[in-house]
Amino acid sequence: MTGVQTLTVDPGESEIRLDRWFKRHFPELIHGRLEKLLRTGQVRVDGKRATAGQRVSTGQVIRVPPLGEAPTEAQPPRPVAARDVSMIRALVLHQDQHMIVLNKPAGLAVQGGTGTPRHLDGMLEALRFDAAERPRLVHRLDRDTSGVFVIARTAAAARFLGDAFRDKTVRKVYWALVVGQPKPRRGKIDSPIAKRATAKGERVVEDEEDGQRAVTWYATVENAGKQASWVAMMPITGRTHQLRVHCGSVLGTPILGDRKYGGSAAFIAELDPDAPLHLHARSIRLPSIGGGTVEVTAPLPLHMREAWSFFGFGETDEDPFAEIDS
């Protein structure tokens, strides 16, 4: 390759590491060479020096210096296993010419990584249907969290939806089963959080000095005495593990099954200790590229339906945040 390139980060690439971004676009570039280009300042992000581990954001401009050899042609997507085609198509809740909304199961990662060969990104070809373009990711959802997940069907839709998520014109409501009873029963959490290395590995923690602002509205819908509570949450910001940290650290009521942020306090003796995290992206409302809005609700997964039944909770369509704009 000759000459310098300037490439813009697409919405579906937001929050991935810079070295993984290069792996996607320039698979022939070995990691050692990339590190040298970074050390010598030849690779730049928005005009500034960069590191392999820093995460990129939608719209950032990456300077790619001459890499010597011509890049290999983009490889065709790997075929999706028949069982995964059936599985992923059965998750579709909404489909139009611009987007697809899935009910993602807990345990399915959105993107791959070390030790994660099976992930949603690797199955997107199965959701192409009759479209000319391969679908694109536009936001994130924790591997352990189930519920509504939006996929763009075209590059234009990806830009539009990426802007909507970034500009906070997307409204998401989550349901969780927490251990204990939040006090007060409803309110607004405005507590900065940051990733930190701990004795138990990397964790997201409260950090008033250096953390990024994280805002969550919450409301207790129903509770089983002091043992457990059904809590609805509407995040205004979209930080990694925000709801899990806000429930466990700020409210003192960890989400059931959250070993990472609740430890032994995140379990109830009468319920299955091996059940997935009880956190579900229940509904989403977002603007449509064709005008108007799209609203989608995802049914609860089996493990949460079983917990709801155990505690005698009944599902409701009432919106506890109807009067909240932001």
Q: In angstroms, rounded to a whole number, what is the distance separating the alpha carbons of residues 25 and 70?
A: 12
Same fold, 5-64 and 171-311: no
Q: In angstroms, rounded to a whole number, what is the distance separating the alpha carbons of residues 74 and 60?
A: 22
Asked whether residue 1 carries a pLDDT value surpassing 50, the answer given is no
Instruction: For 216-245, write each residue's pLDDT tens digit.
Output: 999 999 999 999 999 999 999 989 899 999
According to the model, what pLDDT value does residue 74 have?
47
Q: How confident is the model at residue 269 (pLDDT cuts 50, 70, 90)?
A: very high
Catalytic residues: 142
Q: In angstroms, rounded to a whole number, what is the distance separating the alpha carbons of residues 272 and 307?
A: 9
Share of the chain above pLDDT 70, in %: 96
Of the candidates 4, 19, 10, 20, the one whose C-alpha atom is nearest the C-alpha of residue 60 is: 10
Residue ranges per structural domain of the chain:
5-64, 82-166, 171-311
Of the candidates 116, 119, 120, the one whose C-alpha atom is nearest the C-alpha of residue 135 is: 120
Of the two residues 75 and 191, the one the predictor is more confident about is 191
According to the model, what pLDDT value does residue 76 have?
65
User: What's the average model confidence in pLDDT over 208-215?
Assistant: 90
**5-64, what's its fold?**
3.10.290
**171-311, what's its fold?**
Pseudouridine synthase (3.30.2350)
According to the model, what pLDDT value does residue 103 have?
98
Asked whether residue 202 carries a pLDDT value surpassing 70, the answer given is yes
In this prediction the pTM is: 0.79
Q: What are phi and psi of 67, to 5 degrees?
A: -105, 5
User: What's the average model confidence in pLDDT over 62-68?
Assistant: 86
Instruction: For 125-141, write each residue's pLDDT tens digit.
Output: 999 998 989 999 989 89
55 bridge partner residues: 17
Q: How confident is the model at residue 71 (pLDDT cuts 50, 70, 90)?
A: very low
User: If you write DSSP's letter for every residue of 41-85 in order, what string do you get?
Assistant: T-SEETTEE--TTPBP-TT-EEEE---SSPPPPPPPPPPPPHHHH
Of the two residues 270 and 195, the one the predictor is more confident about is 270
The helix/strand/coil state of 312 is coil
CATH class of 82-166: alpha beta
Would you call 4 exposed, middle or buried from its count of C-beta atoms within 10 A (0-12, 13-18, 19+)? exposed
Instruction: For 101-122, write each residue's pLDDT tens digit.
Output: 999 999 999 987 777 889 999 9
Neighbours of 147 (CB within 10 A): 28
Asked whether residue 72 carries a pLDDT value surpassing 60, the answer given is no
Chain mean pLDDT for the chain: 90
Asked if 280 and 176 count as a contact pair (C-beta separation under 8 A), the reply is yes
